[in-house]
Structure 1
Amino acid sequence: MISPLLSRSLVVVLQPLSENALLQIIERALRDPELGLGRYHVEMDVEAMMSLVAFANGDARVALNALEFAVLHTAPGPDGDIHMSKGALATALQKKSLRYDKGGEEHYNIISAFIKSLRDSDPDGALYWLARMLEAGESPRFIARRMVILASEDIGNADPMALVVATAVAQAVELIGLPECRLNLAQVATYLASCPKDNASYAGLQEATADVEEHGNLPVPLHLRNAPTELMKELGYGKGYRYVHEDPAARTEQTHLPEKLGKKKYYRPKKREDR
């Protein structure tokens, strides 16, 4: 929703219903013979009700639609009543469907929780959110791509193998596919979560980009310029460049930034104890 329209609207945030509220709604639906399912004489045990509550994930519409579907697809017993156990409910619904709209808020909430678990070095959180995405049908390619990005953004040179490992899982996803590639994703998620962290490359690039945007096309120092022609050499291109393999001191004494930026530092890797 665009900001002008949002500013003229009343925004109502709908919160998920509590377990007790959902239980009351389910029990009322089972008892009501006119508006509910009372005419089917359903006996539903507590375990099945709790399973349905978990399935609904705070949404009464999901609970009622699933309950109606399960009742209509479960044969009555010899006594004429429908006995709804957890197993019968699972059989009727066949497979639990997790709330996960790939184009909506929950999609971004869960991938955010996954990435932050990796960044915060919590392999348990990473595995849980990974499982949530996979069970809900998220593309393993999407998950692998996000881990490749994180390997450079949040781990960087604290463990250069992180990028190699993350790239390997992206290849494994293409080679193996579901369901087996779940194991590859889990291995790499726990590896990345266990790595030391350093975002110095990412932060340095952000700072350098800001300078490029602020200062524009600053001239390349003459000693760093390429000189493929005699005219360029006469103009001073490449003059004074010190070849570091022959002159190791050039590493620190020779400038590599435009004159306006001086000896500015972009890359500031963390000390090992700070990672």
Structure 2
Amino acid sequence: DALLPYVENGNFKIIGATTENPSYSIINPLLSRIKLCYLEKLSDYEIKKLLTDTIKNKDHGIENLQKTITDDLLEIITNYSGGDARFALNSLEICLNHANNTNTNLTKKNIEEILEKNIYYDKSDDYHYHLISAFIKSMRGSDPNAAIYYLARMIAGGENPEFIARRLIIFASEDIGLANPQALNLATSTLYAVKNIGMPESRIILAETTIYLASSQKSNSSYKSIDLALSHVKNSPDEKIPIHLLNPITELDNQKNFGKNYNYPHDFPGNFVKENYLPEKIKNKIFYEPKEVGIEKSIKDRISKLWDS
């Protein structure tokens, strides 16, 4: 905010670099006044060349190189780096320091053990959002194998298991909904379990729920219905409630006929009576359209039987 007026009047020229996504970390008014240049991740070839050059450079490379590191071991670091030069260089230094400090030779096994503790996963950058997006879309696409894979990547990278559990709750409601209401109960229980159990056992709880949600029948009718209703309310926020639905609390309310001619459903066969509950102007408006899938099919059948007969 403080920079905005100076950028607008031309007093400031900003040149910056960041590992953060500017769409999340810079306010929109300032973002619209600057030009963004995106740097792509380095290729495996570029990462490996960087590591090789670092080892060979005696003046500006790794200091006190006491252990040799073979080409195939550099390949492992390259594969773990995710195209990030900083991570690759830090990993190289960590591996060499470990070998020097423990007086052991570097092997495929100990390099992988070291790197798995420092696996590339920045919870504040695009990578974080890309993984959770792939995770959600895999479940939405009913692919439990892909969903488990992305879950594993998040867990291995140190993602907060409670964050994952919360996203499972949102998914259960948004993408499964009334096709299988039990999904929301399971996802909610997952958050409780993860909070009380902790890692590493929570990985099993998250995996169980992920597989169940990915394999479940899907419906987004709840999501669509509330958004449709909210959109209508935004444009017409104060439509008159039918007078028979108003609760008469005072004598004045009775004089205004609040609640008059209200039909109490439990006084009728099947605990149902056709009644107009929406404001008069939108009495035929449809917000909820049930889908013919899972448990929601029985909901659709019942609603159709009640209202279309």
Q: TM-score range by the shorter chain?
A: 0.7 to 0.9
Q: 1:251 to 1:25 in 2, by over 3 A?
A: same
The equivalences for 1:209-228 within 5 A come to 209-228=230-249
The CA distance in 1 between the partners of 2:250 and 2:101, in whole Å, is 92
In structure 2, what is the Cα distance between the partners aligned to 1:178 and 1:83? 32
1:94-243 matches, cutoff 5 A: 95-243=116-264
Change (3 A) 1:263 1:202: same
Alpha-carbon distance in 2 for matches of 1:104, 1:25: 23
- Residue 250 of structure 1 and its aligned partner are, at CA, apart by 8.5
CA distance in 2, matches of 1:76, 1:110: 35
Q: For residue 25 of structure 1, report the CA deviation from its aligned partner.
A: 1.9
Structure 2 residue 284 is the aligned partner of structure 1 residue 263? yes
Match in the other structure for 1:9: 34
Structure 2 residue runs of 5 or longer lacking an equivalent are 1-25, 298-309
The one-letter amino acid paired with 2:225 is G
Tell me how far apart the structure 2 counterparts of residues 14 and 272 of structure 1 sit (CA, whole Å): 45
Superposed displacement of residue 32, structure 1? 2.7
User: Comparing 113-122 with 37-46, which one deviates more in the overlay?
Assistant: 37-46
* Aligned mates of 1:261, 1:230 — CA distance in 2: 30
Deviation at 1:103, TM superposition (A): 2.6
SS of residue in 2 equivalent to 1:253: coil
CA offsets per residue over residues 59-106 of structure 1, 9 Å max, x none?
12221222123223323999xxx8432234346x36432333323222
Provide the C-alpha distance between the structure 1 equivalents of 2:169 and 2:63, rounded to a whole number of angstroms.
Answer: 53
Q: Please tell me the residue identity of whatever aligns with 1:101.
A: D
Asked if the contact 1:255–1:263 (Cα under 8 Å) also holds between the matched residues in 2, the reply is: no
Matched, 1:52 2:84: no
Q: Distance in 1 between matches of 2:115 and 2:126?
A: 26
Q: What is the percentage of aligned positions where both structures have the same residue?
A: 39
- Deviation string for 1:105-157 (max 9, x for gaps)? 22222211211112221111211121122122221111111111111111111
Counterpart Cα distance in 2 of 1:114 and 1:88:
30
1:20 matches 2:45: yes
Pick aligned residue for 2:54 from 29, 48, 64:
29
2:110 counterpart of 1:85: no
CA contact (8 A) 1:151 1:192 kept: yes
CA contact (8 A) 2:80 2:115 kept: no
Alignment gaps of 5+ in structure 1: none
- Decide whether aligned partners of structure 1 residues 75 and 249 sit closer, same or farther in structure 2, where only a CA change above 3 A counts: closer
**Structure 1: distance between partners of 2:50 and 2:151:** 32
